[in-house]
Every structure is written in structure tokens, then in C-alpha cells.
């Protein structure tokens, strides 16, 4: 004789309608969008715009100060990335931050090396 085992049937969860899914997908994100960071070309040459006295009044972290020390007005972004021991993404972020704050500016390198 076989023994009967009670089976519990769970209620099915309703499947969201197409309208509900599209509404959820189109809702804005919870956080505001980040401001657009300036783009840097690898051939661009960053240089310091501020006078040393103005530069001393800026609050810079150690990474930004280190990257700022590598800028001589002749070295392109690609060479700065090769020279700097920091992570390349971090160096690019620091350069973009310095550019956005107006501490540095960039010019395109006109010397193509040919």
C-alpha cells in the first residue's frame, strides 16, 4: 500500500503586464546623473593654468598633486599615463578633475612626429 503525502499548492505570483514592465524600465534612476566630464585626447598636452600662489590655495589630494607635478607643458596625456605609476583610469580621472576645476588646460599636440 502506498502512502499518501499531502501536497500544498502555492498560489501563483501574477506576471507583470507588458505595460507594468515598460513603466518600470522607463522610470528615472534614483540618483541624479553625473555631470559630463571633459574628454581628453591622448595626444593633448596638458599644462598648468594657475600661478603658483593660486595653486597653493587649491585643495588637492596627493594623487592630483603628484599628477600635477608631471605636467611640464610638453608631455602629452599618453606619455603622462606611461610615466605615472598610478592606475591609468585614476590618472585620467584626476586630469579630468583638474581640467574641470580650471587648474589645467590642454592644447592639441601639433607635432605629429613625422
C-alpha cell at 15: 506576471
Determine the pLDDT at residue 25: 58
Q: How far out from the chain centre does Cα 33 lie?
A: 12
pTM over 0.75: no
Q: What is the domain partition of the chain in residue ranges?
A: 44-108
Determine the pLDDT at residue 114: 42
- Nearest CA-CA partner of 80 in 89, 61, 67, 90: 67
Question: Mind giving me the DSSP string for 54-97?
Answer: HHHTS---HHHHHHHHH--SS--HHHHHHH--S-HHHHHHHHHH
- Nearest CA-CA partner of 42 in 93, 87, 86, 78: 78
pLDDT at 42 over 50: yes
Determine the pLDDT at residue 24: 52
Amino acid at each position: 500500500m502506498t502512502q499518501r503525502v499531502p501536497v500544498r499548492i502555492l498560489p501563483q505570483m501574477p506576471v507583470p503586464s507588458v505595460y507594468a514592465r515598460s513603466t518600470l524600465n522607463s522610470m528615472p534612476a534614483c540618483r541624479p546623473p553625473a555631470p559630463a566630464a571633459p574628454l581628453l585626447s591622448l595626444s593633448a598636452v596638458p599644462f598648468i593654468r594657475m600661478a603658483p600662489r593660486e595653486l597653493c590655495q587649491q585643495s588637492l589630494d596627493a594623487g592630483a598633486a603628484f599628477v600635477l607635478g608631471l605636467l611640464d607643458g610638453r608631455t602629452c596625456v599618453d606619455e603622462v599615463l606611461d610615466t605615472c605609476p598610478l592606475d591609468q583610469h585614476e590618472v585620467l580621472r584626476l586630469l579630468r578633475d583638474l581640467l574641470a576645476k580650471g587648474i589645467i588646460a590642454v592644447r592639441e599636440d601639433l607635432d605629429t612626429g613625422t
